[in-house]
Amino acid sequence: MTFLRKKRVFALLLIFFVLVLFMNSAYIGRKLYPIYFKQEIRQSAAKHHIDPFLIAAIIRVETNYKHHLESKKGALGLMQLMPETAEWIAESTNLSSDEAKDLLQVDVNINLGSWYLSWLQKHYNGNLIYAIAAYNAGQGNVNKWKQNNIWDGTEANISQIPFGETRHYVQRVLYYYDKYTNLYADQWDGNRITINKEALD
């Protein structure tokens, strides 16, 4: 086979490979943006009436599915819960305080984190973006921004969030939330709880 003919064959194979990639873009996307611990996420999402893709997005940003992590501040597990937050959640639910202490256990961590996300969303009257910001910066800060008209809780005005870390956090969670929704919505078993991102008072 001549060198020129080899180049032509290689070019044809390359074109074929690119076409296959485009035809299977959702497949490639799922490889690039996988969701792990699907069963635990599904169960907690159904239990606490929250979109499973929101849970997955929070996990992706918090720990990228590394369930054994502990932050410098002491937050634990997949959804990076502080032990005192977990104890408060346990007191607010029927979960035992002993079980709440095992925050490195995948199902316990996702269950507690999902309950907290659901609670935050209700606290902010359905505004998902306020809830995501509060998950990172704390309710006290977000309540202050809301009450003092510093930030209106809309995606368009995320730049008004005073904390740079929280601005970046909210943007990243929304990015992965949209990615997961676009890539997995047609595959997800069961009924999803769809969310209006900017439901207001």
78 and 110 Cβ atoms separated by less than 8 Å: yes
159-191 residue pLDDT tens: 999 999 999 999 999 999 999 999 998 887 555
Gap between the Cα atoms of 34 and 176, Å rounded: 11
> Cα–Cα–Cα angle for 108, 114, 116, nearest 5°?
105
What's the whole-number mean pLDDT along residues 105-121? 95
Distance CA 66, CA 187 (A): 24
Active site residue 87: no
**How confident is residue 12, by pLDDT bands cut at 50, 70 and 90?**
confident
Say which range, 66-75, 127-136, 140-149, has the weakest mean pLDDT.
66-75
- Please determine, for residue 76, whether its predicted confidence score (pLDDT) is greater than 50: yes
Amino acid 185 reads A
Using the structure block, give the residue that is written with the tokens 């996988």. Answer: 34
pLDDT more than 70, % of the chain: 83
Task: Yes or no: say if 167 and 158 are a contact pair by the CB < 8 Å rule.
Answer: yes
What's the rounded Cα separation, in Å, for the pair 167 and 160?
8
Active-site entry in 62, 70, 87, 99: 62
pLDDT at 28: 79
Q: Which residues of 27-63 are buried (b: 16+ CB within 10 A; e: fewer)?
A: eeebeebebebeebbbbbbeebebbbbbbbbbbbbbb
Task: Give pTM, 2 decimals.
Answer: 0.83
The SS3 of residue 104 is: coil
